[in-house]
Structure 1
């Protein structure tokens, strides 16, 4: 798909085709019972008799889950942490993005303040700290990329939520390290809605107070005997809570399925096209108060402010071959991706079954965004340093505290103007922002094949083979510091000065101060993943026992261009481009080839038909990817990052109470560091360190009386780095050289305590029902990096909504997030180690967005 107009056209076509069925449905008896959807495995032969409305409660312990097991298991028998949600429950969670939905799984912390894409996803006990290396997202049992994460790509960016989803299953640890892509962290498997014998679907229109206009649609229908189809998707435009003066989000997604019921199984194909552009939100300046309280920087609202503006939207930046590239902030983290996948499931009798999933596809996942640099400062300080009088804090005894200045002599003839005209006053607060342009072309093919045989009553042996081939072709233009006002919707600034009869241009005409020493690369890579796994499951009386093993190999070949430094325009007086790194025509070839086994054993004991206990142990390994661990190593690849996980849990369900609780202990090894002395001088060789984490996950619902419900999702995580005996040297925000030990420091970016509490009450009327709810969320203390020196603070949010179902077909929802406009940091300045706060308590950080309210009307037929 190349244009969002195609999505609009396809949705209009689907809606038009659905209109006759809508009329038919409206004429039916409004009091007719709502049909129940198939909640069996996505690979089992599914009944195609009823429309997919009125989904069963997927929290039921009798619900069958298909993720991280050989062929489907009831939740009451699953000896691992799994959270499920159907379409209505996904909608009720009111996620701001695909990643934000993961908040319904205790122990997963999605930093969803970055907009629709690009979220950092932390898994309790896994020392990540950025992107999402320990999270994999799948559609119908297949990941959309063979590697879980790359720089400027987390797998949630490949997918958008819409009404084509039947349910999601989210698994942490346990057997997730064995099956399919073998993710040892967390896996979310989105299972698609399919067509039915009775035509059915829905159409929804949403308006949001941030200028959001969105249309969703789904239509499932019969094609011929035992053949069924569906089509659906969405299109939306939004100015964004942080309005950049142009459209922040623009695009949509289209999904179609084709299903054939066989005599002994099911054959299903699906296709999905995404064409979407999303503002990539990055930190703004804030003020850190005493402790870890934060307030807005004057003139930049922490909840709604952004540096993005139409004045800096269109630029030219140098590419890796020295050519100038046209870049556009409105393209943001945009995806143009097309996928085709399928599932085949069959029972051949005598205990033999076959199950196969595949997907092929890919496309562009480019990034156009600003990235934080040094803290803001007055223009006078940036130009002259301490050669003239400066505001308090910037000069100590005539010596510059912040080294980010030109240090021009007093009296220098300087011209500082806004792009487009007008002198900039010396007291204007200014800032550098890196204008980064990343072109990323991704393609993948993966297939997961399983053959199972019931050896004797209750015992099934499964052998599986997983194959993935992934390619990555990138052109990066990183660095590219632009001088701009430290204001909401910033204005770029040009600077030049005259010295010794020559005019020196500090910036180019667009306000770029520095293309020098940037990081422009061209790389391409191909990775193949081969994994064999064996799993045995034995149901005997109240026990369900399983043991599984996996042997996995990843072979990646990567070529990255080598650099040379050039004066891009050949003019020594244009200071901004005198030392630009460009490719010199040669490439570094790296060959990464590693094999690693994983194991798991689990036992579940069914105390009663509504209560069970389980225990599990597993190991897992994390392979490097093109951008992390392969490029730049000269072939000296790090040892595998490994985890040992122990967990046990309890599940219980009655008409009044639902409880799913688990405790865990996770030991992580394989993180690397170079030991140094107190002066930062390396001593000895490369050493390994790790982490140790214990925690509790809880998912509970209590209904003391009919229609009143209290839901709680929460986790406690106590994780620390271990076996770090050296001293990590770093340069602090004011240019000082510091050294800190990491042993015993808390895992970066992960809250020690997080919970969501949601009371709701369903009011039944003669025309339908109405359910108001409120969600209180608490996020505990986190720290920006491994040093544990920069707290991000605790915060809470208050969300609320009303869901009204009118007769059989209409649903109206009013929902709001962060209604009390709380400032809540999810990250600081990720390019500054240690304390991030500078002069005057200023910190570059990213807060959650301010209040957002939306209203939807949906018609189901």
Structure 2
């Protein structure tokens, strides 16, 4: 065994042990086992080889090699998940196993230390990954799709990702890391951990960054900082953990650009120093507001929580996990309002057309496009608590839990304020076009002021019974009550246009089995039924349907069968899945009628890891699926929008020594099939391939240099069309080629 391979195994063992102290106790014989907490009551934990469901684990080493530009982009490493992360660090679209959706991430829950950071998976202009930033404080991420998800925690039927923080040990350790790039990124990360006093451990860390953006806006369009502290007190019969994560991070919102205009490519953004400052007009009185569109999308708030884990009398185990999220998740952006055209085709021109900043006169052959100057101010808060009691009675293990959540959102929107801008040059707004001078803009405005509160109370229980040494069966039940109070003023005139007082109760269930073939392999099978409860935007967008008796609850039924193998040098999961989602609602833009549909999907996922003592490692994840809209007013028989039939990611790496220095070369090949950009299946988004490449070198102990090249061949792939106007020739490119360089010192 090479020194480098032994070092990697040791690092992996330490990482897993720090994430879950129970693992360290089990590994006295130096065997490395992966413990997963997602999908277990109160995060009690189970060996991955024994888990009767499909779950993906990514430790800090794998996350570093993937070099994701956002939290959502990391989720691409989970089979069965399709991510459109081309909008920037915030505002991704995440799809799971063919579940329907028109954007955002309606079937994704993001958890920190096992607690959901925001119980509503998606609100307009807010999905979970937008309020979470990756840094050196993360030890591991789990991705559980389907499985027991509908029963435990917040009852998410789709994908739950759980991020585990690094934690201290008796040894004082730290890392200082500086990162720069070919697009002007300046970033400093730091993390320090150790022991404050006997059995009291700490971890602190965070980052500061500045950048003009991968798509250069001509000013500092990305800036942020984050600070995290994690404290753990080990008791004689358990432990207490508390943490807080303070974040202030914003970045440009990249929107669909014209696909039919020369010079507009993957490196283009309409945002510039000449148009970031704007005056918008809102409400029935056309009140004015000065805004900075350069603020983009971001998160200014905190995620604070903790857990208590105790072993009580008579071998009862008690776990309580709690979390408070509070802050502002605002959005500012230039949103395309139709297709690009020549200036000569624009109506309402009377006299010369000049630039609002430069004063230059533009001729009729100039490429122009209408952009809405959108502002969304969103103040959110959520508190969750998940407690569970567990005990083993011979061959029967039982858990009884209670989950509570309070969720609120206060929104102020002004969507519209459209005006014609130049494509190219300084991208300024134009004078001499009638609607550009009109305070109402070139299109209607949709302005709202809303407030919403939701309460969830759920009781759940799970039972696992060892039938034989090979066969284990499990059953889970969840009874959930969901209440929503919501009101909205849609004209900003002080009049409530829509008001909702809603409550519903549903029972979810899961039944599964695990059959052990030997110590390293097994089979699992599962069926479940769960629900996605409605939140504030569901009522606003579908108020007519709600008044007509629609419950707005999405009903999800799933089944999966899988094979798993976890050996000394490789592990492999293959999972067949099928699902049906009833009651999905899709609204393309405010004011449009809702499409209520049923969607079905069937597919297979592969998740394979190989590690050889020679230093060669390979990760492969692949998904193949078929989707069909089986019930729709107009689109029955079509495929689900924006989801590929297949996708593949292969990540090889090779570790070696050169002149006494450790080195690693690695890369990722991604390939994705064609997709339809709309439920009508009239817009085809072509598939593409993408190559990433990286290299690390450790010239001396504690020093690590890294070069990461994203999109090596500068592929111009398209992730999505124009979600607000499917027929417009607009789309979002994947990010252009970029190169990052970092130097880190660890001790």
* TM-score, normalisation: structure 1: 0.81
> Aligned in 2, Cα 1:32/1:794: closer, same or farther, shift over 3 Å?
closer
Instruction: State the distance in 1 between where 2:290 and 2:195 align.
Output: 47
Query: Hey, what does 1:526 align to over in structure 2?
Result: 453
> Is 1:325 the counterpart of 2:289 in the alignment?
yes
> Aligned in 2, Cα 1:523/1:114: closer, same or farther, shift over 3 Å?
same
> Aligned in 2, Cα 1:844/1:448: closer, same or farther, shift over 3 Å?
same
Query: Hey, what does 1:337 align to over in structure 2?
Result: 301
Query: Hey, what does 2:630 align to over in structure 1?
Result: 722
> Aligned in 2, Cα 1:756/1:631: closer, same or farther, shift over 3 Å?
closer
Query: Hey, what does 2:16 align to over in structure 1?
Result: 39
Instruction: State the distance in 1 between where 2:528 and 2:442 align.
Output: 48
> Aligned in 2, Cα 1:665/1:41: closer, same or farther, shift over 3 Å?
farther
- CA drift at 1:128: 1.1
Query: Hey, what does 1:307 align to over in structure 2?
Result: 270
Instruction: State the distance in 1 between where 2:520 and 2:141 align.
Output: 22
Instruction: State the distance in 1 between where 2:384 and 2:217 align.
Output: 38
Query: Hey, what does 2:711 align to over in structure 1?
Result: 818
Instruction: State the distance in 2 between where 1:448 and 1:704 align.
Output: 40
Q: Which runs of 5+ in 2 are unaligned?
A: 1-6, 588-592
> Aligned in 2, Cα 1:124/1:46: closer, same or farther, shift over 3 Å?
closer
Query: Hey, what does 1:666 align to over in structure 2?
Result: 579
Query: Hey, what does 1:136 align to over in structure 2?
Result: 109
CA deviation vs aligned residue, 1:90-119 (integer Å, no higher than 9, x gap): 111111100000011011011011111100
Q: Alignment partner of 2:129: what SS?
A: helix
Instruction: State the distance in 1 between where 2:127 and 2:313 align.
Output: 41
- Given that 1:829 and 1:844 are in contact with CA atoms closer than 8 Å, whether structure 2 keeps it comes out as yes
- CA drift at 1:631: 5.2
> Is 1:69 the counterpart of 2:40 in the alignment?
yes
- Given that 1:151 and 1:628 are in contact with CA atoms closer than 8 Å, whether structure 2 keeps it comes out as no
> Aligned in 2, Cα 1:44/1:774: closer, same or farther, shift over 3 Å?
closer
Query: Hey, what does 1:379 align to over in structure 2?
Result: 343
CA deviation vs aligned residue, 1:769-823 (integer Å, no higher than 9, x gap): 2111221110111111111110010101011111223444222211111110111
> Is 1:474 the counterpart of 2:411 in the alignment?
yes
Query: Hey, what does 2:361 align to over in structure 1?
Result: 423
- CA drift at 1:523: 0.3
- The number of residue pairs the alignment matches comes to 725
> Is 1:370 the counterpart of 2:334 in the alignment?
yes
Query: Hey, what does 2:242 align to over in structure 1?
Result: 269
My pick for the range that moved more, 319-328 or 848-857, is 319-328
> Is 1:116 the counterpart of 2:89 in the alignment?
yes
Instruction: State the distance in 2 between where 1:324 and 1:654 align.
Output: 65
- CA drift at 1:414: 2.0
> Is 1:538 the counterpart of 2:465 in the alignment?
yes
Instruction: State the distance in 1 between where 2:379 and 2:231 align.
Output: 28
- Given that 1:522 and 1:583 are in contact with CA atoms closer than 8 Å, whether structure 2 keeps it comes out as no
Alignment of 1:496-645 (within 5 A): 505-508=434-437, 514=441, 517-539=444-466, 540-563=468-491, 582-630=492-540, 633=543, 635-636=546-547, 637-645=550-558
- CA drift at 1:251: 0.6
Q: Alignment partner of 1:91: what SS?
A: helix
> Aligned in 2, Cα 1:280/1:35: closer, same or farther, shift over 3 Å?
closer
Q: Alignment partner of 1:176: what SS?
A: coil
Q: Compute the RMSD of aligned alpha carbons.
A: 2.5
Instruction: State the distance in 2 between where 1:601 and 1:41 align.
Output: 31
Q: Alignment partner of 1:762: what SS?
A: strand
> Aligned in 2, Cα 1:719/1:591: closer, same or farther, shift over 3 Å?
same
CA deviation vs aligned residue, 1:267-309 (integer Å, no higher than 9, x gap): 010011000111110011113xxxxxxxxx2132x11011111
**Which residue of 342, 350, 354 corresponds with 2:318?**
354
- CA drift at 1:256: 0.3
> Aligned in 2, Cα 1:468/1:33: closer, same or farther, shift over 3 Å?
closer
Query: Hey, what does 2:590 align to over in structure 1?
Result: none
CA deviation vs aligned residue, 1:658-695 (integer Å, no higher than 9, x gap): 21111111122113699xxxxxxx9xxx9963122110
> Aligned in 2, Cα 1:147/1:156: closer, same or farther, shift over 3 Å?
same
> Is 1:446 the counterpart of 2:384 in the alignment?
yes
> Aligned in 2, Cα 1:484/1:66: closer, same or farther, shift over 3 Å?
same
- CA drift at 1:562: 4.5
- Given that 1:452 and 1:460 are in contact with CA atoms closer than 8 Å, whether structure 2 keeps it comes out as yes
> Aligned in 2, Cα 1:477/1:34: closer, same or farther, shift over 3 Å?
closer
Query: Hey, what does 1:7 align to over in structure 2?
Result: none
- Given that 2:569 and 2:612 are in contact with CA atoms closer than 8 Å, whether structure 1 keeps it comes out as yes
> Is 1:648 the counterpart of 2:561 in the alignment?
yes
Q: Alignment partner of 2:330: what SS?
A: strand
Instruction: State the distance in 2 between where 1:601 and 1:37 align.
Output: 34
- CA drift at 1:630: 4.3
- Given that 1:305 and 1:488 are in contact with CA atoms closer than 8 Å, whether structure 2 keeps it comes out as no
- Given that 1:629 and 1:638 are in contact with CA atoms closer than 8 Å, whether structure 2 keeps it comes out as no
Q: Alignment partner of 1:282: what SS?
A: coil
CA deviation vs aligned residue, 1:234-258 (integer Å, no higher than 9, x gap): 1111111211111121011110011
Q: Alignment partner of 1:311: what SS?
A: coil
* TM-score, normalisation: structure 2: 0.93
Q: Alignment partner of 1:100: what SS?
A: helix
Instruction: State the distance in 1 between where 2:578 and 2:36 align.
Output: 24
CA deviation vs aligned residue, 1:734-789 (integer Å, no higher than 9, x gap): xxxxxxxx122111111111001122221135634211122111011111111111
> Is 1:316 the counterpart of 2:306 in the alignment?
no
